[in-house]
Structure formats: structure tokens, C-alpha cells
């Protein structure tokens, strides 16, 4: 049985409504939705630890910044929803500010500070994100066809479609914005996960 990892976006948490909706819809399957650390280097350690638990055929789903991290799981199926390949730009606009988490986190944190160090670390990781030797590399290797993306036609937060298409080919557009709404989750993302589970 495939394990499914859901990686949330910036300012969110593993308790997001999307994670809850997927968990309810995929009963009987092992779905892990961690709180991603806001410090990029700590997030990378968390992702590496998760990768160490995965087997061939497992699935990593990410939205926004979570899709950026999901893309780094080389060798596993990845579903990227409105991927934010350059979240450092958003971080920089809020450098020095304290931002709220939109969902409850296991450690009880309700906000975090965006620091210059955080922005620089994110930029360093982003600069290497499409290097096939960078990230969490499965022993059996990677193939571009393991990656699919979904782009909201009305996303007014990020637009990384052209950059995605410079490296991958499989994508779907959908009527929606940046945040993953219930209809899109159930009508598009969930069937894509189920198709991969059946493979």
C-alpha cells in the first residue's frame, strides 16, 4: 500500500483543511502531514527524514511552498499544486515581521518571525532546486514523468508554470486560485492520487 505525504504551504500546518480532507477521503491509506519547520535548513532535515521512510511507489503531494519541497523528492511520485519555487521573494517582503500560522501546529506556535537568515537560507536552497543531484534522491533514481503539476488559472500569488515546464511536461490547469479549494481537491487532486495508488 502506498504511503502518501502531504506538504502544506507557507504559514500553514499539517492540520490544514486540505490535509484533513485528503485523510478523510483516503481512509485505509497511510497519510502523513507534518508541520514543516519555518527555518529552511530545519525543513530540509525534516524532509530528509521523511524520505528515509519512503518506498518506491509512495506519493508526495505539496501545495505552494510545500510543492517546492515535494519537488525535491527525486524518485517518488510528486503532485505539485500551485508550486512556489521562489518563496524567498514572499519571505523578503515580510522580513522583520511576525506572521501568524493559519492552522494549529503541534508545538502550539501561533506565529513566527521572518528573518534575514531565513530568507538567505531559502534562496540558497532555491538556487539548487532543479539540480537532479540535489534533494532527497531515491536509490532507484528519478524520472521526469513521476512529476505532475496543477496550476490555478486565477492564482494571483505565484506563477511558476513556465519554470515548471522548463523541467517537466505533465500538468493540468484548473479553475481556481492559489489556495486549494474543496472542489478542486476532490475533483482533481484526489483522483490523481488514486490513479497513482492503483499503479
pLDDT tens-digit series, residues 95-134: 999 999 999 999 999 999 999 999 999 999 999 999 999 9
CA distance 111 to 105: 10
Mean pLDDT (whole number) for 46-64: 97
Q: What is the pLDDT of residue 28?
A: 87
- Check residue 103 and give its pLDDT: 94
Using alpha carbons only, give the angle 21, 34, 189 rounded to the nearest 5 degrees: 35
Given this model, what pLDDT does residue 130 score?
97
Domains of the chain: 3-198 (3.40.50.1820)
pTM, rounded to two decimals: 0.97
* 187 grid coordinates: 475533483
Distance, CA of 50 to CA of 159 (rounded, Å): 27
Cα 50 from chain centre: 13
Could you give the residue ranges of the DSSP H alpha helices within 10-160? 17-25, 40-51, 65-71, 87-93, 116-126
Amino acid at each position: 500500500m502506498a504511503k502518501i505525504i502531504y506538504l502544506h504551504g507557507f504559514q500553514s500546518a499539517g492540520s490544514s483543511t486540505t490535509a484533513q480532507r485528503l485523510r478523510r477521503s483516503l481512509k485505509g491509506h497511510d497519510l502523513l502531514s507534518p508541520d514543516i519547520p519555518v527555518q529552511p535548513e530545519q525543513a530540509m532535515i525534516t524532509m530528509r527524514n521523511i524520505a528515509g521512510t519512503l518506498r518506491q511507489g509512495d506519493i508526495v503531494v505539496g501545495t505552494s511552498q510545500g510543492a517546492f519541497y515535494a519537488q525535491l523528492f527525486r524518485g517518488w511520485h510528486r503532485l505539485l499544486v500551485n508550486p512556489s519555487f521562489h518563496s524567498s521573494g514572499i519571505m523578503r517582503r515580510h522580513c522583520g515581521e511576525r506572521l501568524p500560522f493559519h492552522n494549529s501546529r503541534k508545538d502550539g506556535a501561533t506565529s513566527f518571525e521572518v528573518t534575514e537568515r531565513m530568507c538567505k537560507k531559502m534562496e540558497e536552497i532555491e538556487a539548487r532546486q532543479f539540480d537532479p543531484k540535489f534533494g532527497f534522491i531515491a536509490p532507484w533514481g528519478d524520472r521526469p514523468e513521476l512529476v505532475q503539476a496543477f496550476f490555478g488559472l486565477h492564482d494571483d500569488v505565484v506563477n511558476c508554470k513556465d519554470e515548471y515546464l522548463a523541467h517537466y511536461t505533465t500538468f493540468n490547469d484548473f479553475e481556481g486560485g492559489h489556495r486549494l479549494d474543496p472542489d478542486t481537491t476532490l475533483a482533481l487532486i484526489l483522483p490523481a492520487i488514486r490513479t497513482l495508488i492503483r499503479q
